[in-house]
């Protein structure tokens, strides 16, 4: 499915129904359970995207992001000991968007709930992407805080009490960078990437490999590294 980039410039108020607020609370309960279970094992994570901003829909996912590599056995222990999921139901996928980007292990709790674990140090723009999309911590969820961020249609979502104000960041990249307190470079990079996908359709990942049952994600990453020098160069400081 192609991503439709919104180019309208005017700010528009979107008022939420009670059903939408209820959905946000439900998704945040899931996010809270995951973040609190991780923190029990000294693992700090964030929730990014629509659950952080508040503009959730029936298709919204719960996306948890760890800012640095944590051995997957610790993540698995936090989830299983917290009774969030049975070990046999966890799935793992190794992904790398481009040769230049940080590879990640995706821990799939279910089809709509994912924990993303980087396999190398994040670049500045990768770190700032979390703020670009909208990022909340466990404490933020406890305070019912919603944060501004940009959705896949390149609309800035600014939370207000009864919903949000949205506006296209196309042509207003400087304003978006100031509001999100990130570099203009990150905003421009995301705009370029999204508009490219709009014209070319959904882009494939450089690497996307399911981890076979009985194999750890780290073992799978090493197997990929033996065959792919670009992947190897990214993970060698973490796993080698």
Sequential pLDDT tens for the chain (240 residues): 445 666 666 899 999 999 999 999 999 999 999 999 999 999 999 999 999 999 999 999 999 999 999 999 999 999 998 778 888 999 999 999 999 999 999 999 999 999 999 999 999 999 999 999 999 999 999 999 999 999 999 999 999 999 999 999 999 999 999 999 999 999 999 999 888 776 665 557 899 999 999 999 999 999 999 999 999 999 999 997
Q: Is residue 138 part of a domain?
A: yes
Residue 160, φ and ψ in degrees, nearest 5: -130, 170
Q: What is the Cα–Cα distance from 197 to 67, expressed in whole angstroms?
A: 26
Q: Is residue 93 part of a domain?
A: no
| Burial classification of residue 41, based on how many CB atoms lie within 10 Å of its CB (0-12 exposed, 13-18 middle, 19 or more buried) | middle
Q: How many CB atoms neighbour CB 66 within 10 A?
A: 19
Q: Is the CB of residue 220 less than 8 Å from the CB of residue 91?
A: no
Q: Is residue 56 part of a domain?
A: yes
Q: Is residue 145 part of a domain?
A: yes
| Burial classification of residue 46, based on how many CB atoms lie within 10 Å of its CB (0-12 exposed, 13-18 middle, 19 or more buried) | buried
pLDDT given for residue 203 in this prediction: 58
Q: Is residue 157 part of a domain?
A: yes
In angstroms and rounded to an integer, the radius of gyration of the C-alpha atoms of the chain is: 18
Number of domains in the chain: 1
**Is the whole-model pTM more than 0.85?**
yes
Q: What is the Cα–Cα distance from 200 to 94, expressed in whole angstroms?
A: 24
Q: Calculate the CA 5 to chain-centre distance.
A: 19
Q: Is residue 106 part of a domain?
A: no
Q: Is residue 101 part of a domain?
A: no
């Amino acid at each position: 499915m192609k991503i439709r980039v919104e180019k309208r410039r005017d700010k528009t108020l979107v008022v939420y129904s009670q059903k939408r607020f209820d959905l946000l609370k439900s998704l945040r309960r899931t996010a809270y359970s995951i973040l609190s279970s991780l923190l029990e094992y000294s693992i700090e994570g964030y929730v990014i995207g629509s659950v952080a901003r508040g503009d959730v829909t029936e298709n919204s996912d719960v996306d948890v992001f760890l800012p640095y590599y944590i051995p997957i056995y610790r993540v698995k222990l936090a989830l299983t000991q917290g009774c969030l999921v049975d070990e046999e139901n966890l799935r793992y996928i190794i992904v790398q968007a481009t040769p230049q980007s940080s590879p990640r292990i995706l821990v799939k709790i279910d089809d709509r709930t994912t924990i993303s674990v980087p396999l190398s140090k994040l670049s500045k723009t990768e770190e700032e992407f979390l703020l670009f999309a909208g990022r909340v911590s466990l404490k933020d969820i406890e305070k019912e805080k919603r944060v501004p961020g940009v959705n896949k249609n390149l609309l800035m979502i600014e939370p207000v009490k009864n919903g949000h104000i949205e506006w296209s960041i196309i042509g207003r990249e400087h304003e978006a960078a100031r509001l999100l307190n990130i570099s203009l470079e990150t905003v421009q990079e995301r705009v370029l990437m999204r508009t490219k996908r709009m014209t070319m359709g959904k882009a494939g990942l450089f690497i996307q490999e399911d981890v076979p049952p009985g194999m750890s994600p780290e073992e799978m990453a090493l197997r990929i590294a033996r065959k792919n020098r670009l992947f190897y160069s990214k993970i060698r400081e973490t796993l080698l």
